[in-house]
Structure 1
Amino acid sequence: MQSRQLQESAWRPRWFDKQGENETFKYTGGYWEARGHRKWDDCPNIFGQFTEEQLTDSA
């Protein structure tokens, strides 16, 4: 349910961009750097509850 709400509100993956019409994604970089520094401050908790603000901020 929450993932559908995010998708419908134009949420986009942080480290991937959609490529063309065939629904494939291309890695754009940044994940391994964030992981190396353990810097996840800007990442939403996709496994937790979302607030209305989080859903509308991604649009």
Structure 2
Amino acid sequence: MQSRKLQEDGWKPRWFQKEGENGSFRYSGGYWEAREQGNWDGCPNIFGEFNEGLVESSEGRLA
């Protein structure tokens, strides 16, 4: 899984910061602004390539 590999390579969440060593994550801001502007520059594609065939086949199953 690509997301696990990113974490192992030192990736850190973009809009969250960890509180303490064993603490939870706290939202640090920026997501809603990026979403409003449609600006996803600098966000890694953790899901791999987009495959339209998968979308079409899943849409057929939902109908």
Task: Specify every segment of 5 or more residues in structure 1 that has no aligned partner in the other structure, as ranges.
Answer: 50-59
Cα distance in 2, alignment partners of residues 43 and 2 from structure 1:
13
Quick check: which one's helix share is greater?
A: 2
Aligned residues: 49
The structural deviation recorded for 1:21 is: 2.6
Question: Which amino acid in the other structure matches residue 24 of structure 1?
Answer: S
The structural deviation recorded for 1:3 is: 2.0
Quick check: which one's strand share is greater?
A: 1
Give the TM-score normalised by the residue count of structure 1: 0.69
RMSD value, Cα: 1.5
- Work out the percentage of aligned pairs sharing the same amino acid: 67
Higher Rg: 2
